[in-house]
Amino acid sequence: MVYKLNGEAELFYRKQSIPKKITHPAKQAIANKNKDNPKKESFFEYDLIKDKRFTEDKFFFHCPITMNFKSSGANKFNDEVNLLLKEKANDVHILSIDRGERHLAYYTLVDSKGNIIKQDTFNIIGNDRMKTNYHDKLAAIEKDRESARKDWKKINNIKEMKEGYLSQVVHEIAKLVIEYNAIVVFEDLNFGFKRGRFKVEKQVYQKLEKMLIEKLNYLVFKDNEFDKAGGVLRAYQLTAPFETFKKMGKQTGVIYYVPAGFTSKICPVTGFVNQLYPKYESVSKSQEFFSKFDKICYNLDKGYFEFSFDYKNFGDKAAKGKWTIASFGSRLINFRNSDKNHNWDTREVYPTKELEKLLKDYSIEYGHGECIKAAICGESDKKFFAKLTSILNSILQMRNSKTGTELDYLISPVADVNGNFFDSRHAPKNMPQDADANGAYHIGLKGLMLLYRIKNNQDGKKLNLVIKNEEYFEFVQNRNKSSKI
């Protein structure tokens, strides 16, 4: 027995509130509002009446029921889930959801070894017959934000559109969870949250999480037979009942929360992450900063500059180890363009060419491949170090986006063992396809860390779900140790 009939049933009567008026007569073509629908017109054999339910008197019978009333309670629910995951860890997938800068939401599905099985955007949702581009629809609605603030009807349209979008995303996530036997991993936005860069606000994103938690709390698929798994009498219970995000902590059933930092701006091949943060302050501080590099030289064979360093020489950094970064490729720099009314614009820069010009301007010889660190540190011109710092920052910039476009790619300054630099524009299908995809992928790798902890946790010992940056960097870099320079 699954359902219990409760007392305090109620009967309501609602009188007709609007007159019955035919909106669309039968057998007349009606243009479809959804431009994504391949079927441009619809025909009906009967009259259509807008808000028909309010044109008639109605009786409503409300009868409260309790679902799954024999459940043992939620106190040890997370422990039960973790125990099951411990036994089945090798068969579990990780579904990570990232709230992106170019995507409303992006997901990556990885297996228990960290291999990408699927990755896609939630901008467009639908089936083979019809897909809806919610990204474009919401962007169009929110363009006229100022007039929307003065028009309650527009506000309601925006709200309804977001509600509809979230319910669609929740349904898609639920299907993936069951199909791939997956846990779900979100960023913990309660800590270190930064506003203003994302397509979906924090409140809306948390609403998605809350809706998913409630959906997975008693998951039923309407097409499943009532007595089969996922049917009304054998629903999936994958989360504990929701109270508040604060009380929930870092886990509720199959949903886990991981720190939000260092997910999109990290090389998926070598695990390199920028923690140098070059900043020009003064000539003396710049001389001190560049003196900490092990070697700065021009690679004659490759045709680019290399900066070799050890993070331990740059103070207390979470990132560790020796690295060689290169001026390979180009970068996109966003700036306020005074020629375009100080609106945002993008220019493409080539660090190698800029560094060649700077060194030539200051008569620093680099063409023989020797180390030029001493020559650099021997300079005393403010403009030299300001420009050099700017070039180094562009080399370290992994995420590159073009203003007003969907272009948002990731390029690594660190070569793999084969001398190749990861570039998401040319990445194979089993690697992140853009910067948002890289964010979702590394959220998934943090989820994989938790899965390994669950698998190796000793019985009776409290499970540690806290992930420190040092642990995360070590985990990612050790997975790709053969690729590290």
Active-site residues: which are they? 24, 33, 50, 98, 187, 436
* Residue 436 near residue 100, CB atoms below 8 Å: yes
User: What is the Cα–Cα distance from 160 to 333, expressed in whole angstroms?
Assistant: 37
User: What is the Cα–Cα distance from 76 to 456, expressed in whole angstroms?
Assistant: 19
* Residue 395 near residue 413, CB atoms below 8 Å: yes
Dump strand ranges (E) for 358-474: 399-401, 408-415, 421-423
Paired sense of beta strands 255-258 and 182-187, if any: parallel
Instruction: State the CB neighbour count (10 A cutoff) for residue 144.
Output: 12
> Which residues lie below 8 Å from residue 311, measured CB to CB, with a gap of 6+?
275, 317, 319, 320, 321, 322, 323
Instruction: State the CB neighbour count (10 A cutoff) for residue 194.
Output: 9
> Which residues lie below 8 Å from residue 143, measured CB to CB, with a gap of 6+?
none
User: What is the Cα–Cα distance from 162 to 49, expressed in whole angstroms?
Assistant: 25
Q: Which residues of 250-285 are buried (b: 16+ CB within 10 A; e: fewer)?
A: bbbbbbbbbbbbbbbbbbbbbbbbbbbebebeeeee
Residue 146 one-letter amino acid: E
* Residue 203 near residue 193, CB atoms below 8 Å: no
CA 155 to chain CA mean position, Å:
26
